[in-house]
Each structure stands twice: as structure tokens, then as C-alpha cells.
Chain A
Amino acid sequence: MGLFDRIKKAFTGEPETPETEKYDAGLEKSRTTFSERLNALFANFRTVDEDFFDDLEEMLIEADVGFQTAVDLTDSLREEVKLQNVKKPQEVAQVIVQKLVDLYGEAGENEDNTLHYADDSQGPTVFLFVGVNGAGKTTTVGKLAHQLKDQGKSVLLAACDTFRAGAIEQLQEWGRRDGVPVVAKEAGSDPASVVFDAVKQAKADNVDVLLVDTAGRLQNKVNLMKELDKIKRVIVRELPEAPQEVLLVLDATTGQNALSQAKQFNETTDISGIVLTKLDGTGKGGIVLAIRNELHVPVKLAGLGEGMDDLQVFDPTKFAYGLFKGLIDDPEK
């Protein structure tokens, strides 16, 4: 059952199926005040006026649906309210949900949230991980290696973060924990040469998946972005079908800057998906919806905790449902 069927059900008053309740744990903390907030908003306003829209806008922004989305939504609501001549806030609630359905329903269709692997004839699958400093690239690589190994795949890691202090040791430690070999050179060496060696070894040992960890870089540093481009070029030269995935690792607490990150990393490396990390905190990561609307890059993995198995395949329906749960459940109140 899709998200929007569920929303409609919420309106018609049909009971929820128990399975929809399962997905919540990771996002539990982030949503608690959302419905309260909406109720408070509606309680505060007897009529629908400019202040009401300002407050609504702020509430949506606070819910992390992304700045642009919030403004678009409120603007179109203004129109709608004029057209339908709605006076009471309670009636507006209905329009809000309708608008959310319109906004997200279409952008989410035909979205591909699965990771792609190479065919048997193409040699090893290569995943390239990119992102800003401290997003969680190395940790994601470590966790994913563990999961792939559990699935019976042979995995090789490439330590291309030769810049940050201790980054190579960090990946090697993950390699030890996961029982997975790591290709590394000394700190300060050219990351492109590391990836070259790694691809060569991956081909020679016939491994299934090569995970390439890169150094964190801010997206406005031209020369560092060029370095990333070079890493990718080396991979493509050695394995024309690779990398099968270029994953942008994104911290869920990031604000509007995430859009700039997605745009600029996409320009350099043509990202195929997003890994949304640290979703167990207060960050709700609503910005990925804005990214989805603008760049059509889907989220493929979500980090929901510190444990090895807390990296999960991302389910957009559940995520959106988690974000708007308060909004969906409460209009009748």
C-alpha cells in the first residue's frame, strides 16, 4: 500500500494496518512535536490570514521539508485558499495534505532505490563514496562491507582518503573487523594511484564488490573536486562499466547546504544515489525531498544508528510517512 493511499485512508477514517506501525524506531525522536505544533497552530488562528501562512511556512521549514518546498507549498496554499474561499484553518489542513500528495507523489514515481551490481561478465562492481568532511563516508563503507560479506560476497576496500589524519587506519580497522582486505598506501600519496591499484587487485582476485572510500571535501573547493574527477576517470578507464554506483554520503542534520552539495558533487561525479547518515539524531533529513524534486537523485541507504547493522536500505514511502506522520494523522482532531 502506497503512502498516499494511506493518507487518503486517514481522511476516510479507515483503520491503519499494523505493518505500517513497524517502521518508526529510528525516526521516533524527531517527530514528537510535529502534530502538537500543527494543533497549536490551528488553535491559535481563528481565521486564515498572512500571519497564519507565515507560521505555517515556519512550521514546515522546522519539519525540514526543505526551504523551497515549504515556500512553494505555502504559496500554492495561498492561491488555493483564495480559489476555494476557505476561511477556517481546519479546512486548510485538508488542502495541505492534498498539496503534499501532489508535490511528492509525482516526483517519487519510478524511483529506483536499489543498489546496482555489475553483471558477471563485467568484472567487479565498484561503489564510489563521496561527500563533505565528517558526513560518515568511512563508517558507511565499513558497515556496507560487513553486510555485503554477510551476503556471501567477496569485498575489497580502497583507502583513497590519504589526506585526513588517521583516515587510512580507520578504514583498515574496519577491514579487520569485517575480515575484508584493504588496499592502502601511505598518507599523502595520490588517491588516484590507490584506486588504480585497488581496481587492479580487484580484477586479479576476482572480488565481487570494490568499495572506494574518498577524502571528505567541501563542494566549493575546485581543486579537490578535480581530484575526485580524476579518481573516477581512473576507475572508468580500467573498468568501463564501473562505477556502478557513485554514492553521496549526506549528514541528515545538514540544512539547505545539502542541496548545494548534491548539485556540485553531481556535476563532478554524476552521483547515482544518496546515503543519508545519522538519521537517528534530531536531523530529519527532509532536505533529501528537495534534492529528489530538483535533481531526481534517490536515497539508497540510510544510517539509523552506530551498530554494524544499522545501515539499511532506504524506503522512501516509509521515510515520507515518518516525516509527515503528525500531519497525516491529525487533521481530524
Chain B
Amino acid sequence: MAFEGLSERLQKAFSGLRRKGKVTEADVRDSMREIRLALLEADVNFGVVKEFVKNVREKAVGAEVLESLSPAQQIIKIVNDELTATMGEAAVPLNKSPHIPTIIMMVGLQGAGKTTTVGKLSKRLIQQEKARPLLIAADVYRPAAIDQLQVVGKSVGVPVFEMGTDTDPREIVRQGLAQAALQHNDYVIIDTAGRLQIDEKLMTELADIKDIAHPNEILLVVDSMTGQAATDVAKGFDERLDITGVVLTKLDGDTRGGAALSIRKVTGKPIKFIGQGEKMDALDVFYPDRMANRILGMGDMLTLIDKAQQNFDEKQATEMADKIKENTFDFNDFLDQMAQVQSMGPMEDIMKMIPGMANNPAMKNFKMDPKDIAHMKAIVYSMTPAEREQPDLLNPSRRRRLAAGSGRPIVEVNRMIKQFNASKKMMNQMYKGNFQGMEGLMGGGVKGRLGKMAMNSMIKKQKKNKKKRLKHAKNFKS
């Protein structure tokens, strides 16, 4: 997960502060140096770091902070606010044209992920707005770039306009737009060839395409692993084309993604989307405030909740809530839960969004094989309907049968049943708002409290939603 290195370092910087009742100017100076190094190590542009640290220092040395009862928390808050401010205050939606079609143009360096992002964006538009986009293949330079866009288009069910590699990209765009007008497509996405921002000839071509298409949105696609060069690239494209937004790709890697911090600051243009996976639905809206929380190790509960809400089928959720209330959380639900969790993304990513997990040493090497879930499912599938509903039935003889049926060793069956029982206990507890026995999970001190607060708010929100759903269901019935 992106940024966790940064959170680790920042938390280390603050752990010294936290132990003290009072902070001296020298303490602030030391922790600022840690913050500065952490940001630089995370590939944040040095100019941005400089200004950032200066701002934080000025605010932190203020008399108020030093004399307040919990200076460490104050500094965390200042850093958090400043991080959010640097990355832009709120999520910025896609620009739309008052008349169809809305024209989106993708630009960027070679290998940044433009074509993949085109596919992901189309899928997103189709799912959320029932859009009918047309893709224009304007990359005539790289071998098989058009083939790639066609395969991507096919996989998300979107037509691709192409004229081979012998036509000038300007002409392709012109004719592509004509076809879009004819077919009344509501979105047109132009996939351009990757190029260096210092390549005069190709940059002129982009400027020409911009003049032809008058795009509502020019998205610069940037690899999140980019180093100090990120600002040069963003500046180069911005000066030439006046880009309207940025897409940050490959954030599912272990990059610290400092580029996110720098680009907004240097260009003033918002980051609109982040790509975090190879699948076509792995494109998320960029929330600066959430990212700031994540950096500070406060977890990214909001993203987690959003993901859960998107993936959690409402009806299934109500059914499950009812069952939990009656304390009949059984294997069928366990299976359901696993399927839903699985559809949110890789397990280790989700775990790390929970506050306190990101830098929990035990989590450092936590890797969950997707196959583990498949194996668990196999075991549940080997149960009789009665066993699924009444887990207490599972005596050693039945367990041996399950092991044979699922082709897994008996220890794994036992482990899985143990996990199920723990999960059952936790689900019941969480819905009652009881966190006893879970403190260890959250860690101690400020971080732990923050984590608990976030967890509480998530549960509260979930409960509220559940009530709403139940009420809704009742109204519907009567």
C-alpha cells in the first residue's frame, strides 16, 4: 500500500514527542527533520518539502502549541492539515461538457498507463452513468498500441475508432469525433501516444489535437513511482497543454507515492483518479483528505467504508444483520462475508486500511494468498446444509469427512472452524459496540485512540445504515 513507509517514519518522528509532556523548540526542530527526510525519501519534490516543513514549523513553534497539554497531538494535527492542504482540499470530479459528447484526452510519458486507464475510466463511466463512450486510438507510433486499445475496449464493451498507423493522429481525431457525433456518443476518450514533455515535435502534435478536439478534460497520467522528475513532467505537460487533471497509476505497488504530494503543489491541478490494480475496475477517486489520514497512519476508514458500501449487496447485508442480531451467524454468512471481502481487493491491502494496522509490526509481512480463501470455501462447500447452519454439529468424524471432501489437511479444517468462531464472536461484539479484547489490535497511545475513534465511527455509520435499511424494508412491506 502506498505511503505506509511515510506513515512509519512520521510516527517514529512523533513517538519521541509523544512521551514528553512539554515540547521545546529543539524537539520540534528534531521532529521536523524527520518529517523532512521522510517526505524526501518518499520522492516528494524537494521544493514542496521545503515549503511544507517551513509551514509546519512556523505553526508548531507557536506559543499555543508548546503550552497546550498535548503538543504531540497538536503537531500531528498541523501536519495532517498541511498535508491535506498541499494535496488539495476536496475530491475533484470529472469536468463535463454541457452538451454531449464530453471529450477526454489522455496524455503522459511512455509506459505511464494511459491505455489501461482509458479502459478503467470507460468501465467506471458505464457502471456509474450508463455512458456510451467511444475510444479514439491516436497512438500510431508504438507497435500494437491500437491492438492493445482494441482488446481493452472489447473487455469493457466499448467501441474503438481507429484508422491504422499510417494516418496522422490529428486526422484520426478529427474523423473519430465526426463518428462520435454521428453515433451520439456521450463520452469520447482519446488515447494518445506516450511522449517526453521535452519532445517538441510530439508536443506540438498534442497541442494540435487539443485545438481540434477542444477537450473538456485533459488528464495527465503519471506513474506513482516517479521520482523527483514528476514535477518536471507535470510542469512540462501543463505549460504546453494546460492540463485539467492528473491520474496517478500503479499505486498498488509499494511506492510511497510522493509524486501525489508534489504534482498538485507544483501545477495547481487536481489529482482526479488513482489506479490501484490491473483489473478494469481498479480505478478510484482521489480523496486528498483520506490520503493525508493514510499518511499519518490513521488508516483510510472512509475508503474502506466506501468500498464496502459499493460491494456489499444491500439485501444480503440486511439479511446478515438480522442473523447477527439473532446470533445465528453461520457458515453460509461466513462464505458470503468472505466473498464480499474478496471483492474489495487483496486482503493485505484492506487490512492495512484499518487504523493501526499499517505500521503494526506483525502486519509487516502479512500476505494473504487469494487461494486461502478458495480453500476455505472448498471446506464450507463440503459441508451438509445442516452443518452450515449449525456449526456445533461439527464433531471430529465430520471434520475428517470435510478434510477428505475438500482435499485439505485436517489441521486446516480445524483452523478454519476456529477462525469462523472468532469471526462470529467479533461480529457480535462489534455490533454491540464492545471493543474489549480488540485494544491490542489498535495499539496504544494517541494512535490507538484515533484508531478506536475511527473504528467506532465506522460501526456507528454501519449501524445507522442498517437501521435505515431495516426501516426502509418495513415501510416497503406495509
Contact = CB atoms under 8 A, between A and B. Distances in A.
Interface of A: 29, 54, 57-59, 61-62, 64, 67, 71, 132-136, 139, 142, 163-174, 177, 187, 218-223, 251, 253-258, 260, 278, 280-284, 287, 306
Contacts of A287: 227
B109 interface: yes
Contacts of B111: 133-136, 251, 278
Contacts of A306: 141
B367 interface: yes
Interface in B218-268: 223, 225-230, 232-233, 236, 250, 252-256, 258-259
Contact of A170 (B148, B225, B230, B236): B148
Closest 4 CB pairs of A and B: A255-B227, A134-B111, A166-B148, A173-B143
Contact of B250 (A62, A133, A169, A256): A133
B198 A281 contact: yes
A223 B370 contact: yes
A167 B259 CA distance: 27
B41 A256 contact: yes
Interface of B: 36-37, 40-43, 46, 49-50, 109-113, 115, 119, 141-152, 155, 196-198, 223, 225-230, 232-233, 236, 250, 252-256, 258-259, 278, 367, 369-370
A37 B247 CA distance: 31
Which of A57, A134, A139 has the most chain B CB atoms closer than 10 A to its own CB?
A: A134
Nearest to A55: B50
A29 B233 CA distance: 13
Nearest to B49: A58
A55 to B, nearest CB: 9
Given A187-B151, A255-B227, A257-B254, A134 B143 contact: no
A282 B229 contact: yes
A223 B369 contact: yes
Given A58-B49, A165-B151, A134 B110 contact: yes
Given A166-B148, A166-B150, A253-B233, A278 B109 contact: yes
5 contacts: A134-B111, A168-B144, A251-B225, A253-B109, A281-B109
Given A136-B110, A255-B258, A218 B226 contact: no
B58 to A, nearest CB: 15
Given A61-B46, A255-B228, A257-B225, A67 B41 contact: yes
Contacts of A139: 142
B232 A254 contact: no
A222 B365 CA distance: 11
Given A165-B152, A253-B233, A61 B254 contact: no
A265 to B, nearest CB: 12
Given A134-B112, A278-B109, A174 B143 contact: yes
A54 B40 CA distance: 11
A165 B229 contact: no
Contacts of A253: 109, 223, 226-227, 229-230, 233
Nearest to A226: B369
A258 B252 CA distance: 15
Contact of A283 (B50, B113, B148, B229): B229
Nearest to A176: B143
Nearest to B142: A170
Nearest to A280: B196
Contact of A220 (B36, B148, B152, B253): B253
Contact of B228 (A62, A280, A281): A62
B36 to A, nearest CB: 8
Contacts of A172: 144
Contacts of A62: 46, 228
Nearest to B43: A255
B130 to A, nearest CB: 24
Contact of B147 (A29, A54, A170, A255): A170
B223 A251 contact: yes
Contacts of B197: 281-282
A250 to B, nearest CB: 10
A29 B197 CA distance: 12
Which of A218, A255, A260 has the most chain B CB atoms closer than 10 A to its own CB?
A: A255
B274 to A, nearest CB: 14
Contacts of A278: 109-111, 196
Contacts of A67: 40-41
Contact of B40 (A61, A164, A222, A280): A61
B412 to A, nearest CB: 19
A217 to B, nearest CB: 9
Contacts of A251: 111, 223, 225
B143 A177 contact: yes
Contacts of A257: 43, 225, 227, 253-256
Contacts of A177: 143
Contact of B232 (A221, A258, A282): A282
Contacts of A134: 110-113, 223, 250
Nearest to B222: A253
B329 to A, nearest CB: 30
Given A223-B370, A278-B110, A166 B37 contact: no
A57 B39 CA distance: 13
A303 B232 CA distance: 20
Contacts of B233: 253, 281-282
B148 A167 contact: yes
Contacts of B232: 282
B50 A58 contact: yes
Contacts of A222: 367, 369
Which of B37, B196, B370 has the most chain A CB atoms closer than 10 A to its own CB?
A: B196
Contacts of A71: 37
A173 B144 contact: yes
A162 to B, nearest CB: 12
Contact of A256 (B50, B148, B256): B256
Which of B36, B143, B370 has the most chain A CB atoms closer than 10 A to its own CB?
A: B143
A133 B115 CA distance: 12
B458 to A, nearest CB: 26
Nearest to A173: B143
Contacts of A258: 225, 227
B148 A254 contact: no
Nearest to A249: B111
A5 B210 CA distance: 51
Contacts of A174: 143
Contacts of B144: 166-173
A185 B258 CA distance: 39
Given A165-B152, A171-B144, A283-B226, 12 more contacts: A58-B40, A142-B143, A165-B151, A166-B146, A166-B150, A220-B254, A256-B227, A278-B111, A281-B233, A282-B198, A282-B236, A283-B229
Nearest to B221: A134
B40 A218 contact: no
A216 B150 CA distance: 19
